[in-house]
Structure 1
Amino acid sequence: MNVKLTPKLISQLKNNYIVWFETSNQYIVISDTLKDLIEVYLISHSQADFITQLHIDFNISSAQAELYYNEITNVLITSNTIVNPKSQQSPIPLTPKKALNLYYGFGDTTMSINFGSQSIKNLIHPQFAHATIEKPNAVSCHFDIYKYGDSLYLLKNGAYIEHYSISDFHLLQGRFAVELINLLYDKQEADWIGTFHASTVCNAKEAIMIIGDSGNGKSTLSALLMASGMDVIADDFTPLSAINQEVYRFPSGISVKEGAFVILEEIFSEFDQFPIHPSTSKHVNLKYIPPVNDFENSILHLPCKKVVYVKYDAAVSSTLKKVDTDQILATLIPESWLSPLATNAQLFLDWLQNLECFELQYADNNFAISQFKKLFEAL
């Protein structure tokens, strides 16, 4: 068989396994049985050899073995296919005049962003509006973000970073977020295990990551937890370092949807004064709640060994239960960026081994808050 189809890394998660394919940077969870079948597949010399071995080792019929052969072939080929090849560098078009140039401060780090238009400004600015400052004496970094033709361009200190189709503006937002954490912590892309589509809360000792499907209230819950004395270290974008396997602060505001306004305006005295922004991805209005502390007065990174999958449902009884790690991977991985480096992939698998995972279904906000307090107390 083709040894090039062999997974680069494999790690056991209780009764299942998670495997990583270097070519595609793809992770898949497989059962113990499927792992055994793949191992037979990879050492077999032909389809006939595979079918014979399955009959000898597992007493599987030829017809069923042929089905397994075809399914495994499809899985391995798909998992070794590059899904999103990196775009080619484009000639840098002229940058627009600095009509929409704003400055932001995060402790000792300052940056300026030249937005090509008001609509492009709306893609980035609202979540960092709380960090807007007057023009400083010196700027740590300058970004240009503008439209040319059918593409959005990102430049850093005049150097081309990447460009994206206008319809893929979320990729621009994600890349800018990575450039920002690199700037804040003097790191490079290779220094991160990944960045997760997750909100993360913390106390002075540890962080807890909150994941969930879109619309399940991650950010609203984060705001409620912040109002209850916890700190939100990241909202919707949580970076995990390869240096120390800790999560790092991402200094954005907490984005909350219009459906939560009534609840939150009773808790945050200045909520009515926060501007309303239309969502860039959905037909809904948003507000951004600023962080409680300034960046320079905040804890910047902490270990994270707990992940909670949350689901708000007014019709269910509120429960918190422990679950196996593989049960949260279908939510944790797909919308995240994970490093394509083998060393970082191994660190990610090692990090998963030490996780405690929970599922929180709740209809009562006070119940959810009390459960997080208990999780922080259980050190």
Structure 2
Amino acid sequence: MNKNLSPKHLTQLSDSWVLWFEASNQYLVISNSLKELVDVYLRSENEDDFHSQLRSSSTLSKHDSHTYYTEISELLRTVNRSPENELPKTSDLPRLEKTDFKATYGFGNMSIAVNYCSLAIQNLIHPQWAHATVLEGEIASIVFDILQKDDHLYLFRNQTYIGHYSVTDYHLLQGQFALQLINSLYNKNESDWIATFHASTVCNDKEAIMIIGDSGNGKSTLAALLMANGLDVLADDFSPLSAKNQEVYRFPSGISVKEGAFSTLKPMFQDFEQFPIYTSTSKNVKIKYIPPMADFGKAASHFQCKKIVMVNYDANAKSEMKTIRIEKVLETLIPESWLSPLASNSKLFLDWLKEVSCYELTYSDNGIAVSQFKKLFDS
């Protein structure tokens, strides 16, 4: 039998199933009909047995049965394959000797220093935290070193090696730095988080709503618009979900907005002209970072989040909010997020998804978009 290829966790959401495989930490979202075929495959002794079981309940041809068996077999073997993680030798790790590129950031009562080995490396991290810069004389609680050796970037926390990443995958460094930063701010470990979503999250004083969407679809610009209209941006582009209470925690970075939104946002933020202009590391576009309005350490640090909105800015479309199936949200949410590899946290993630309501906002009118969000908070 093929039971050894079974998912560790599975749950039904709407008309689909979500399967989680522990070895690879991968999620599959499949239809009810495919789930039935997978079930037959898992209890089959071999391909002939698979075909025999299918014939008892359908008129599937031998050829089609063979195709299904082969494709399901390859799929399940792929998601049950553990990734290879090659750790560098201690002697191969770079060490920081001296740098002119360093910064200290203040978050409430905590200060965090980062030593960058070059200006180019500094520009990968610093812009979104520039608003939190404090005088270098401040004694840092935590010190990060970000170094480069050959074609890899290395991250250290208090001189302890955290990980290394290809220079072409610098976004992995950015994500791991963000994870290590929230661990420092909340005195947590990686195992304390269910996930960190590539999403912006806004809140009022009672609950949070997560905003997802493909790059360029306006989620950060919308977050800035909502902040200018009285809501609080809990997190921009990096929304951490806690295992302890299944709530989203505050991530106090600046809100990144692209040049196309500058003229819209300028009248809404008094110091907008003074915010520095940077060039995006992923795309050759100009961006600014709008500082969060809430003071970290004084504002509430976490809220329940049971609503997800997929946003799409379209200048030629009618502005409207509608409910959608969770499967459509998962197509974006899962591939673009870091999800904990722990079985216990995977179970919590699937349980959390059962409680989430999903919406799609297509908008061309900023005023309507803001009003739709405020209605969603009140519902």
User: TM (normalized to structure 1)?
Assistant: 0.97
CA distance in 1, matches of 2:370, 2:292: 18
**Could you tell me which residue of structure 1 aligns to residue 88 of structure 2?**
89
CA distance in 2, matches of 1:129, 1:257: 17
Deviates more, 1:25-34 or 1:175-184: 25-34
Q: Kindly tell me: are residues 356 and 85 of structure 1, through their superposed partners in 2, closer, same or farther at Cα, counting changes over 3 Å?
A: same
Matches of residues 1-379 of structure 1 in structure 2 within 5 Å?
1-82=1-82, 84-91=83-90, 92-378=93-379
Q: Is the 8 A contact 2:306 2:355 kept in 1?
A: yes
Q: Is the 8 A contact 1:55 1:62 kept in 2?
A: no
Q: Is the 8 A contact 1:193 1:240 kept in 2?
A: yes
Whichever residue aligns with residue 74 of structure 2, its letter is N
Q: Is the 8 A contact 1:89 1:162 kept in 2?
A: no
CA distance in 2, matches of 1:55, 1:366: 57
Q: Is the 8 A contact 1:196 1:236 kept in 2?
A: yes
Q: Per-residue displacement from partner, 1:155-194 (whole Å, max 9, x unpaired)?
A: 1111111111111111111000000000000000000001
Whichever residue aligns with residue 56 of structure 2, its letter is I
Cα shift at 1:346:
0.3
Q: Is the 8 A contact 2:13 2:354 kept in 1?
A: yes
Q: Is the 8 A contact 2:182 2:251 kept in 1?
A: yes
Cα shift at 1:2:
2.8
Q: Secondary structure at the match of 2:283?
A: coil
Q: Is the 8 A contact 2:16 2:32 kept in 1?
A: yes
Cα shift at 1:63:
2.1
What is the aligned-residue RMSD (CA, Å)?
A: 1.1
Q: Secondary structure at the match of 2:269?
A: coil
User: TM (normalized to structure 2)?
Assistant: 0.97
Cα shift at 1:74:
2.0
Whichever residue aligns with residue 152 of structure 1, its letter is L
Q: Per-residue displacement from partner, 1:210-255 (whole Å, max 9, x unpaired)?
A: 0001110000000000000000000000000001000001110000
- Which 5+ residue runs of structure 2 have no aligned equivalent? none
Whichever residue aligns with residue 252 of structure 1, its letter is S
Whichever residue aligns with residue 70 of structure 1, its letter is T
- Which 5+ residue runs of structure 1 have no aligned equivalent? none
Cα shift at 1:136:
4.8
Cα shift at 1:268:
1.2
CA distance in 1, matches of 2:365, 2:10: 40
Whichever residue aligns with residue 269 of structure 2, its letter is F
CA distance in 1, matches of 2:210, 2:283: 24
Q: Secondary structure at the match of 2:125?
A: helix
Q: Secondary structure at the match of 1:229?
A: coil
Q: Is the 8 A contact 2:2 2:44 kept in 1?
A: no
Whichever residue aligns with residue 220 of structure 1, its letter is T
Whichever residue aligns with residue 281 of structure 1, its letter is S
